[in-house]
Every structure is written in C-alpha cells, then in structure tokens.
Structure 1
C-alpha cells in the first residue's frame, strides 16, 4: 500500500456522517455534518423547520416564488437549526470556529442579520465571512456553512 493510499484509508476511518431528524432534511444527497478527527463540518443550513417545508417568515406566491420574507425570523431559525445540528453531532455553539453566511439581499438584510448575529455570537466569536448570492435552492434568504470542533 502506498503512503497516499494509507493516508486516504486512515482519513476514512476517522470520518463519519451525521444526520438528525431534529433539523430540516437536506435538499440533496448530503449529511447534516461530517466529523473528521476533532473537526465538524456542517453542510449548508437554512431556516426551514424540521419535519416540514415551512420557512419561518416567508410568504410565497402561487408559483412558489417569494412574495415577502422576514429576515429576522429566518436568521433566528437558521441559528437555532445550527445549534440543533451541533448538539446532535456532539459539539456545541461555543465550539464554532468558522461561519460562512450566504445572504440573497445584502443591501436590505445585512443590518438586521448583523444585529441578530451579534446577539447569538456575543460569547463565541468565530471567524466569519458574509457573501451575497443571487439565490439559494429553496425560497430562503439566508444559509450558513459552519466548522466547529468536537471535544473528545
């Protein structure tokens, strides 16, 4: 076995997929998180509620497009979903080390999002990147991608 193959095998042994029914179901073939060593990588998490397709604060038109939305309700819901996945994975909010935030309307939503973010992250200040994107795969205005540690 080559050194490269041994590294790949070793990496697979220390990697595990994590999913929980307490968080919204993924919209594709991916787990809620993947543990590698003492790091936890969360897939993109939005504000949908577990067990439903309901999105807090969103009103849809008949064609499924967004008629109106409440960014505050979506922020609170997505942060709660992140906490749920972290805890189901054996980690915690305080173990977050990096957060990438995707907003669909930076101009109108950043101020509210930043205020709510400051409430949730007052005691833990992970690195953060906020990016405006054109759209997300479901009718939501915010999604987070996070990395946390897991205490062994």
Structure 2
C-alpha cells in the first residue's frame, strides 16, 4: 500500500508545511537524499507543545509531542517531494527532548515520531535513530526532530 493511501487509512490529514522560524530552509535534496531540518511540535494553529519532559510533561505527553513533530516532518516531505510515495526509506532520525537533568526516557518519547513513520511507511519507516536530552530547545518547545530520507529512483 502506498504511503499516501496509508495516510488516508489512518485518518491523518497533514497540516500545511510549517514555515521556518529562522534563516534556513525546511529541506534540501541532494544525492538521492532528502535532508529535513528540525521541526518542533507545532500545531496547525501555530501553537506549540512547550515545557520540560519529566516536569511539565510526562512521557506520554512527550510521545504525543514527538508524534506531532513526525506529522510536521511528513508535511515537509510531501512539500519537498509532491507525494510521500517518493519516499524509499527513512534512513536517520535525530530526536531531541527538552527534559529535566535526570530524565532517561528519551527513546520512549521519540517513539512518537518513529512509530508514526512505521505506521505510514511500514518497515521502510524504521530508521537508524538517536534520542538525546537537552537543557533547552528553541522557544521552549518540548521536542525537536530532524530526519534524512532516501528517495526512490526515478522509473
């Protein structure tokens, strides 16, 4: 089943691609790869999920923030490629969690994004991944995630 068909089956309606909040582009394509800039858990209305995971947010709320990051990454993929069906494999994900110093559940939080990618792309959505904790993220967001995607060869 195509990724676009899976979105419909899952009832996911991607929001407009979030606009950069700085002097950068949301994506670049080179060498058959799509490099996606980091995105936060920005809702379609422009508001974001903020706070410290482990204090203001629990692991499940962090997971939902990471899932929202994944939705925004999918929106950027579609914007860059015209269709998610051009994605061959999600190669790499870097997930950053704004958390209290002794928080150790970054992998469970970032699963919010990678679980979504597996739902949409099947095994091709299971990336190599890093999940790290940070003291701060831009504008107090709880999670930021970036990705590298392998594109399908042109037929």
TM-score per shorter chain, which class? 0.5 to 0.7
Counterpart contact for 1:23–1:49, Cα < 8 Å? no
Change (3 A) 1:26 1:78: same
Q: Which runs of 5+ in 2 are unaligned?
A: 1-14
Q: Distance in 1 between matches of 2:128 and 2:80?
A: 20
Change (3 A) 1:28 1:83: same
Corresponding position of 1:68: 56
Give the alignment's Cα RMSD to 1 decimal.
Answer: 2.7
Corresponding position of 2:109: 113
- 1:50-89 matches, within 5 Å, as 50=44, 52=46, 54-56=47-49, 58=50, 68-69=56-57, 70-89=61-80
Q: Deviations over 1:31-60 (max 9, x none)?
A: 1101113111111111112452x014x47x
Change (3 A) 1:136 1:49: same
Q: Distance in 2 between matches of 1:130 and 1:120?
A: 16
TM superposition score normalised by structure 1: 0.67
Q: Deviations over 1:61-87 (max 9, x none)?
A: xxxxxx934313312211111111112
The higher radius of gyration belongs to 1
The secondary structure found in structure 2 opposite 1:128 is strand
TM superposition score normalised by structure 2: 0.66
Count of residue correspondences: 123
The secondary structure found in structure 1 opposite 2:48 is coil
Determine which structure has greater relative contact order: mean sequence separation of CA pairs < 8 Å that are 6+ residues apart, divided by chain length.
2
